[in-house]
Amino acid sequence: MKNKRDRLFFTQLFVSQAPQSSQDRRAELEVLLAVPSAQSACGMEIRMDKKTTLEMIAAISNANGTSGFEDEVVAAIRPYAEGLGEITEDCMRNLYIRRKENNGKRPVVQLDAHSDEVGFMVQAICPNGTLRIIQLGGWVNHNIPAHKVWVRNRFGEYIPGITASKPPHFMTEQERKAPLDMKDITVDVGAVSKEEAIEKFGIRIGEPVVPDVTFTYSETTDLMVGKSFDCRLGCAAILKTMHNLAGQELDVDIVGACAAQEEVGVRGATVTAQVIKPDIAIVFEGCPADDTCVEPYMVQTAIKRGPMLRHIDARMITNPRYQRYALDLAEKLGIPVQDAVRSGGATNGAAIHLTEKAVPVIVIGVPVRYAHTHYGISAYADFDNAVKLACEILKRLDEEQIRSF
């Protein structure tokens, strides 16, 4: 056996293969997150060291929450938000954390991340018991089959299934060469008929389907592997940033917002920005890493090189003055960062920067290899440096500085 230091340290939630009701899963959350909850209940701040941070990331990453069904993610976030200030939730499942040190007389900073993940919805039940699905968020079809998923049934249980396509043994030559269409991808829960799928498995249309992946972390490589890093790493970054600044006197008020339904058109952030009415914002993202798929001279978002700050994407030109301020500050403080010019993609910044009087926004992205697939790979150091940069910006922001952008 290898040295223990070479073994993967992992934290996991919801690993039972038996069906689990939403109530059972909430109970697991309460047990597994009891330590931070108890500390907060006693008026103590959560000690957000690396171990606790990794447990937090694992809890939020492992939670099931495709677009429109973010309930479990909100439940995973709440224990780690206790003690930071007022926590509220709207009917869209947007979660707001208003810093207890806010006084209502200072400029407002919105810390944003989205809580949803790419997933699927059951569209129909086939006569043979398999399930037709549609995408929630942007998938590439050929990345979907041959993976384990969770399917929620009418009892609120998540039951195991497999994404499937026709086996090569039964394909014609023409089918082998043709692009894979979504209508040819199903989810198989093991039912042998539509009746059994409905009556025994409790399947019904309109229910969410999510990847079945458990978070792992290697101390040796400093790498995290898991699902939904886009953008659960951002949700964790909001929490860690607010914990790191807890009790400090700032010249701004801070509201953290974990927004729903980003993957289907930045819908949650359209609401949160109207509610918060920020004067300035930091958007945290789990951004697609490009270091395995472009020429070396084009790499702008590599893992282990620091967070990425984008100058532009398909729906926002980042405020140039604010962007330069953040990049210069990172250089001055020795915080490794990368900057990128993106021709595609978008973030919640698209909605926030167009709110009311126009809002200066930067995006601090943690590079994620293979975003919008079942698995992602990210470096903990990149996450940590994203939080460090956000904290240093927030310590320096005031009304005059914000007006200069």
pLDDT digits (tens, 9 = 90+) for 92-137: 999 999 999 999 999 999 999 999 999 999 999 999 999 999 999 9
Residues 6+ apart with CB under 8 A from 393: 282, 325, 326, 329
The 10s digit of each residue's pLDDT in 65-91 is 999 999 999 999 999 999 999 999 999
Question: The sheet that has 85-89: what strands, in order across it?
Answer: 85-89, 95-99, 253-259, 108-114, 280-288, 361-368, 308-312, 338-341
Confidence bin at 21 (pLDDT 50/70/90): low
Q: For the chain, give the mean pLDDT.
A: 91
Residue 126: burial class (beta carbons within 10 Å; 0-12, 13-18, 19+)? middle
The residue among 354, 276, 353 whose CA lies nearest residue 322 is 353
Give residue 10's pLDDT: 39
Question: Cβ distance 117 to 60 under 8 Å?
Answer: no
**Which parts of 80-126 are beta strand (E)?**
85-89, 95-99, 108-114, 119-125
State yes or no: pLDDT of 40 exceeds 70: no
Residues 6+ apart with CB under 8 A from 358: none
Residues 6+ apart with CB under 8 A from 137: 66, 67, 116, 117, 118, 119, 263, 264, 372
State yes or no: pLDDT of 216 exceeds 70: yes
State yes or no: pLDDT of 185 exceeds 90: yes
Annotated catalytic, 30? Answer: no
Give residue 47's pLDDT: 75
339's enclosing H/E stretch is: strand 338-341
52 three-state secondary structure? helix
Confidence bin at 18 (pLDDT 50/70/90): very low
Confidence bin at 403 (pLDDT 50/70/90): very high
Question: What is d(CA 333, CA 326) in angstroms, rounded to the nearest whole number?
Answer: 11
Question: Cβ distance 284 to 390 under 8 Å?
Answer: yes
State yes or no: pLDDT of 25 exceeds 60: no
Helix residue ranges per DSSP H, 162-256: 173-177, 194-199, 229-244
Out of 4-18, 296-310, 343-357, 387-401, least confident range: 4-18
165 three-state secondary structure? coil
- Return the number of other C-beta atoms located less than 10 Å from residue 13's C-beta: 21
Residue with tokens 């700032």: 250
State yes or no: pLDDT of 278 exceeds 80: yes
Out of 42-51, 150-159, 242-251, least confident range: 42-51
Catalytic residue among 72, 262, 263, 285: 262
Give residue 42's pLDDT: 41
The residue among 292, 291, 313, 293 whose CA lies nearest residue 302 is 291
The 10s digit of each residue's pLDDT in 310-365 is 999 999 999 999 999 999 999 999 999 999 999 999 999 999 999 998 999 999 99
Task: Report the Cα–Cα distance between both ends of the chain, in Å, rounded.
Answer: 56
Give the CATH number of domain 4-117+214-404: 3.40.630.10
Cis bond before residue 231 (omega within 30° of 0)? yes
Out of 15-29, 268-282, 313-327, least confident range: 15-29
Average pLDDT over every residue of 289-316:
97
Question: What is d(CA 32, CA 35) in angstroms, rounded to the nearest whole number?
Answer: 8
Question: Cβ distance 309 to 362 under 8 Å?
Answer: yes
Give residue 29's pLDDT: 45
Question: What is d(CA 92, CA 264) in angstroms, rounded to the nearest whole number?
Answer: 13
State yes or no: pLDDT of 19 exceeds 90: no
For the chain, domain boundaries: 4-117+214-404, 119-211
State yes or no: pLDDT of 286 exceeds 80: yes
Query: How many degrees, rounded to 5, is the angle at CA 371 between CA 17 and CA 18?
Result: 5
Question: Cβ distance 366 to 229 under 8 Å?
Answer: yes
**CATH ID of 119-211, from 3.40.605.10, 3.40.30.10, 2.40.160.20, 2.40.30.40:** 2.40.30.40
Give residue 45's pLDDT: 59
332's enclosing H/E stretch is: helix 320-333
Average pLDDT over every residue of 180-200:
97
Structure tokens at 289: 């890493």
The pairing of strands 158-164 and 119-125 is: unpaired
Structure tokens at 296: 């070396």
Residues 6+ apart with CB under 8 A from 306: 330, 335, 336, 337, 338, 381, 382, 385
**Which parts of 176-326 are beta strand (E)?**
186-188, 208-211, 216-218, 223-226, 253-259, 280-288, 308-312
This prediction has a pTM of 0.90
Go through the chain and tell me how many residues it has: 405
Give residue 37's pLDDT: 41
